[in-house]
Structure 1
Amino acid sequence: MVDLQTPERNSRPAKSDGKNPMATHRILIIEDDRSLADVLDYNLTQDGYETSVASDGQDGLTQAKLHGPDLVLLDLMLPVIDGLEICRRLRADPVTRGSLVLMLTAKAEETDQVAGFSVGADDYVTKPFSVKVLLERVRALLRRKRGARDDGDTLVSQGIMLDRERHRVTAGDSVLDLTPSEFGLLEALIRQPGRVFSRSELIDAALGGDALVLERTIDVHVRALRKKMAGHAHLVETVRGLGYRFRDPVGAA
């Protein structure tokens, strides 16, 4: 279901050098369906974004490393390298680990969505979809990222330091390579130590009220966050039947 403008021959905005000087964000589209890629490219360009397109996984990774996009629209079923593996590599590379990843796929099962979030996706949209709704999801993700960058405070608790201006987290002497969603989750928890957050509250606080994700997705993010926190993992506590909280230093032994 594509409900917005489809590019017509000779109607596409000119891109003389591949860049839009008015664009505020770079978006990489990795999609092997040429007609869909063209529709996405056209509508995103019309919305003011600087775009690039790759039709297979290897080309997508190459372009991501070259351009360091703010957001990647990533199909899962791709030739050469599949979308899940691409997401893993994006998160492992210093150039792209901070890029937002919005997965586009025909795989609509809950297990598929959990698998996508477990490798670091920030949002998950199933096909067929409304391009208008997709554009709103893109805007919501980029607003969340911009909000984190604009607020320059630093949070420190029990060996964890979260620097919003630099989008950097350290645990002791180690720098944690967090995805934007993991960063948002940790920030929500560390701001109010001792407070129990339900999963739905964490979706709103960490992923943004515009995110349409499963509550179970928070469990996936928490597991990934704890793994990266290593010796500090115990600071993110599970409250059985309720949700999660950051350990209260006042009540800690």
Structure 2
Amino acid sequence: MSVILIDDEPQLAKFLSHYLRFEGFDVRVAGCRAEIVAEIRKPPIPDLVLLDVMLPDADGFDILLRIRSHPALKDVPVIMLTAKATRESVLKGLAAGADGYITKPVETDVLLQAVRTVMGLQ
């Protein structure tokens, strides 16, 4: 199962990618707009996107809307990652098509359960 992890915090991205690889997932990481575009265009199409809401040169909600409007990506599950899980932020993400929301600091057991749930791996 292929996952694209989009997060600009190198230590967190490294930790989560190692954890998910240990759990059997194939993980690609992107931290800025150029990397996001490159990874999303690169085959294979991901089975899941983990998307940080706040990126230095991109808005996570905008990226989510672009994913949802792309014919090849529109059905790929997206879980939003955020340090600021306000009610408004969660509602905005869900309204834009997010399949889940995880707050930082990320608890690995919560992440793994969310990933398995949205990917239908229960």
2:73 paired with 1:82: no
Please report how far the alpha carbon of residue 132 of structure 1 lies from its aligned counterpart in structure 2 after TM superposition. 1.6
Contact 1:72 1:100 in 2 (8 A): yes
Q: Where does 1:162-201 land on structure 2 (aligned, <5 Å)? A: none
Match of residue 32 from structure 1: 8
- Once the two structures are superposed, residues 67-99 of structure 1 have per-residue CA deviations (whole angstroms, 9 ceiling, x without a partner) of 311100100111222110000000111121111
Q: Secondary structure at the match of 1:89?
A: helix
Task: Give the number of aligned pairs.
Answer: 121
| TM-score using structure 2 length | 0.92
Separation of aligned partners in 2, 1:120 and 1:140: 16
Gaps of 5+ in 1: 1-24, 145-209, 211-253
Gaps of 5+ in 2: none
Separation of aligned partners in 1, 2:102 and 2:94: 12
Give the counterpart letter for 1:132 in structure 2.
Answer: D
Give the counterpart letter for 2:42 in structure 1.
Answer: L
Please report how far the alpha carbon of residue 106 of structure 1 lies from its aligned counterpart in structure 2 after TM superposition. 1.0
Match of residue 141 from structure 1: 118
2:79 paired with 1:102: yes
> Which of 1 and 2 has greater Rg?
1
Partner residue of 1:129 out of 98, 106, 110: 106
Partner residue of 2:50 out of 73, 85, 90: 73
Separation of aligned partners in 2, 1:35 and 1:108: 21
Please report how far the alpha carbon of residue 55 of structure 1 lies from its aligned counterpart in structure 2 after TM superposition. 0.8
- Once the two structures are superposed, residues 102-125 of structure 1 have per-residue CA deviations (whole angstroms, 9 ceiling, x without a partner) of 000012111110011111100011
